[in-house]
Amino acid sequence: MGAAGPVRFRPRLWALLLAAAACAAGIALGNWQWQRAEEKRAAAAAQKRVALRGTFLAEYTVFLDNKLHRGRAGYHVVQPLRTASGEHVLVNRGWIAGGPSREALPTFATPAGEVRIEGIALDRFPRALQAGAGREGRVWQNLDPGEFAAWSGLALAPYVVLQDSALEDGLVRDWPAPDEGADKNRAYALQWYSLAALAVILLLALGFRRDAPPSG
């Protein structure tokens, strides 16, 4: 009976293809999660605070739909603020719970006269996944400044504001930090990188096979 042949790295084709696919997917998804974490970190670092004085124009109120606060559905209330210089700045004033039906929009207080607000200046409001036209009366799924300007006829400032200063208006301004979730994204990235590494380790562990002994 012949001696056993040497051990060689001879993975089966299906195992090689499966490991390659798992490794590529793990690296791609890990890179995506890591990029999301870096985007959140950069957003926090670039955060710019502003203080404005002006008058809210209640007639141009828009309700951004499907906004959750502590698991409860509601709206974000957006109004333009007319400053003393005549500039119009879109302000997300805060969250309010939805009413018993979509036909009855919730009520809140718009302060009369000039007010002072503080908040975070942003290039634009974050966009949500939109289905259909995205507008139903004053209820919008997303707010694009160009679309709002065409609808309202107002010339808008090249930035928007996420208000975080207090007003007696019944709105909730419990905004998440810009880098909230960055640590979770990094943890997910490490999990995906680990999957890619595991695919390689399993391929190496199972791909070595002993040659059949020579016959005769």
pLDDT tens-digit readout, 161-178 = 999 999 989 999 988 776
Computed from CA positions of residues 129, 62, 117, 111, in that sequence, does the dihedral angle turn out positive or negative?
negative
Which structure tokens are listed for 180?
Answer: 């909230």
d(CA 204, CA 210): 14
End-to-end CA distance of the chain: 7
Q: Pick from 111, 101, 96: which is nearest to 170 by CA?
A: 96
Query: Which residues sit opposite 95 in a β-bridge?
Result: 76, 172
Q: What is the mean pLDDT of residues 194-214?
A: 81
In 10 A of CB 6, how many CB atoms? 7
Mean pLDDT of all residues belonging to the chain: 87
* Amino acid at site 63: F
Enter the DSSP assignment of 126. P
For residue 1, pLDDT beyond 60: no
Is residue 76 helix, strand or coil?
A: strand
For residue 212, pLDDT beyond 70: no
**Model confidence over 144-159: pLDDT tens digits?**
999 999 999 999 999 9
Q: What is the largest CA-CA distance in the chain?
A: 103
CB 117 within 8 A of CB 52: yes
Which structure tokens are listed for 2?
Answer: 């012949």
**Model confidence over 64-97: pLDDT tens digits?**
999 999 989 999 999 999 998 889 999 999 999 9
Q: Pick from 200, 205, 206, 203: which is nearest to 24 by CA?
A: 200
CB 211 within 8 A of CB 6: yes
| Cα Rg of the chain (Å, integer) | 28
Which structure tokens are listed for 190?
Answer: 């490490």
Q: Pick from 21, 11, 9, 13: which is nearest to 199 by CA?
A: 21
d(CA 123, CA 121): 7
Q: Pick from 83, 76, 182: which is nearest to 126 by CA?
A: 76
Residue, of 193 and 45, whose pLDDT is higher: 193
* Per-residue confidence (pLDDT) for residue 146, from 0 to 100: 92
d(CA 142, CA 133): 10
* Per-residue confidence (pLDDT) for residue 110, from 0 to 100: 95
For residue 58, pLDDT beyond 80: yes
d(CA 62, CA 143): 8
